[in-house]
Amino acid sequence: MEFFTVSLLNGTIYGLLLFMVSAGLTLIFGMMGVLNFAHTSFYMVGAYLAYSLQEVVGFWPAIIISPLIVGVLGAVVERYMLRRVHQYGHGHQLLLTFGLSFIIAEVIKLFYGNYPVDYRIPESLRFSAFDVFGANYPFYRLLIGGTSLLMFALIYLLLTKTRVGIVVRSAIYRPRMVEALGHNVPMVFMGVFAVGAALAGLAGAVAGAFYTTNPNMAIELGVLVFVVVVVGGLGSLEGAMVASLLIGLISSFSVGIDYSLADLFGLMGAREWAEGVGGLLTLKLSSLAATIPFLLMLLVLLFRPSGLMGTRE
């Protein structure tokens, strides 16, 4: 029971963090068809900016200002870079963002050095929310989860219940028609890209303090975020939420499961043979924990290429 509760809590919060980062990515892809490789770079920039700002203006203002700056950065990237290569198609956009991610990483190293910076949770937030089976459950984890849920609700309402949402959604399907109706479609796209980047920046600002803020954080999360978006379905916000939670829970639960293929053979009375063979057969599930999401992606791509809740292939 203890294992179950703790894993459930940990997995959910980690899943919610993944959602925070991948929400922007799936939004940008869904709206603009741009597969943004530099997305987790915005996450990293958000963390570093918050780290620098909190020394000047304090933790809370930094958490709010940093995503705004990242949003502006996103707008600049869209307006002056992506829009120029848009006419050449997806390949060029992909390469551009890919290159951009390297440049951002190197610039960060130039300013902040190669090592993790000292970005930590402020002491005032370092308390436990409640106890689970004798261990403290940090309040900050709940804060991460709460921020993520709030974000989901806001984006969802914005897209489905407001006029802006209607314009944005129709701009995806019938850009020319929307333009003819007098809306500035390029402006809409720039806005979407900026919001997507800002969301990643917010995730970075919040999570950078809890995990570490280092020049590799973009790469570390980068692949996983793509897995989330693919599993959830490219462009689907709800899908990203489901996939994030799924991957969070899977990685959390699999850590505690020490079964191997040998145990499976044990059920059939062939345990000794399997243990004798060793290798893959005695490999514990727990040592594969971080690899399982990729297995999930493989399965999804094989059996449901559009993703769990996606509509396009």
Partner 1 sequence: MNKTKLALALSALGLALAAPAQADPLKIALVETLSGPQASTGLMYRAAVKYQLANLNEAGGWNGEPIQIAEYDNQGGPAGASDKVKAAIAEGARVIIQGSSSAVSGQITEDVRKYNLRNPGKEVLFLNMGGEALELTGDKCHFYHFRFTTNAPIRVKTLVIAMKEAGDLGTKVYSMNQNYSWGNDMDKSIKAFAKQGGYTVVESTLHDVNKIQDFSPYVSKIKASGAETVLTGNWSNDLLLLMKATRAAGLKVRFGTVFLDQVGNLANAGDTAVGHYIAHAFNIQAGDEAAKFGEDYKAKTGHYPTFIEPQTVFGMRMLGEALKQTKPEDGKINITEVARNLEKVKITTPMGEQHMRAEDHQVVLPIVVSKVTKDAKYKVDGTDMGFDIVKRFTGEEAVNPVEATCKMKRPA
Amino acid code (one letter) for 265? F
Instruction: Determine the Cα–Cα distance for residues 272 and 199; give it in Å rounded to an integer.
Output: 52
* Choice from 251, 262, 274, 281 touching partner 1 (CB under 8 A): 251
Over the window 15 to 34, marking each residue x when it contacts partner 1 by CB under 8 A and - when it does not, the resulting string is --x-----------------
For tokens 């869209």, the residue is 78
Residue placing its CB nearer to partner 1 in the complex, 54 or 214: 214
Residue placing its CB nearer to partner 1 in the complex, 15 or 239: 15
In sequence order, what DSSP letters do the residues of 158-222 get, joined into one string?
A: HHHHSHHHHHHHHHHH-HHHHHHTT--HHHHHHHHHHHHHHHHHHHHHHHHHHS-B-TTHHHHHH
Residue placing its CB nearer to partner 1 in the complex, 60 or 115: 115
In sequence order, what DSSP letters do the residues of 74-104 get, joined into one string?
A: HHHHIIIIIHHHGGG-HHHHHHHHHHHHHHH
Closest approach, Cβ 137 to partner 1, in A, equals: 8
Residue placing its CB nearer to partner 1 in the complex, 66 or 213: 213
User: Segment 131-190, which members bind partner 1 (CB under 8 A)?
Assistant: 134-138, 140-141
Closest approach, Cβ 203 to partner 1, in A, equals: 12
Burial string for 54-90 (b: 16+ CB within 10 Å, else e) reads beeeebeebbebbbebbbebbbebbbebbeebbeeee
Query: Measuring CA to CA, how many Å separate 263 from each of 286, 291, 299?
Result: 14, 20, 23
Binding segment for partner 1 among 7-15, 43-51, 53-61, 153-161 (CB under 8 A)?
A: 7-15
User: Segment 275-304, which members bind partner 1 (CB under 8 A)?
Assistant: 284, 286-291
Residues in binding contact with partner 1, number by CB under 8 A: 46
Half-sphere exposure of 2 (CA within 13 A, CB side): 5
Closest approach, Cβ 246 to partner 1, in A, equals: 15
Q: Is 130 in the site for partner 1 (CB under 8 A)?
A: no
Residue 154: name the closest of 30, 311, 19, 244 by CA: 19
* Choice from 211, 265, 277, 304 touching partner 1 (CB under 8 A): 211
DSSP state of 129: E
* Choice from 73, 255, 262, 296 touching partner 1 (CB under 8 A): 255
* Choice from 190, 252, 260, 262 touching partner 1 (CB under 8 A): 252
Over the window 83 to 122, marking each residue x when it contacts partner 1 by CB under 8 A and - when it does not, the resulting string is -------------------------------xxxxxxx--
* Choice from 51, 189, 193, 210 touching partner 1 (CB under 8 A): 210
Q: What angle do CA 169, 172, 173 make, to 5 degrees?
A: 100
Instruction: Determine the Cα–Cα distance for residues 63 and 51; give it in Å rounded to an integer.
Output: 9
Interface residues with partner 1 (CB under 8 A) are 2-3, 6-7, 10-11, 14, 17, 114-120, 128, 134-138, 140-141, 210-212, 214-216, 219-221, 224, 248, 251-253, 255-256, 284, 286-291
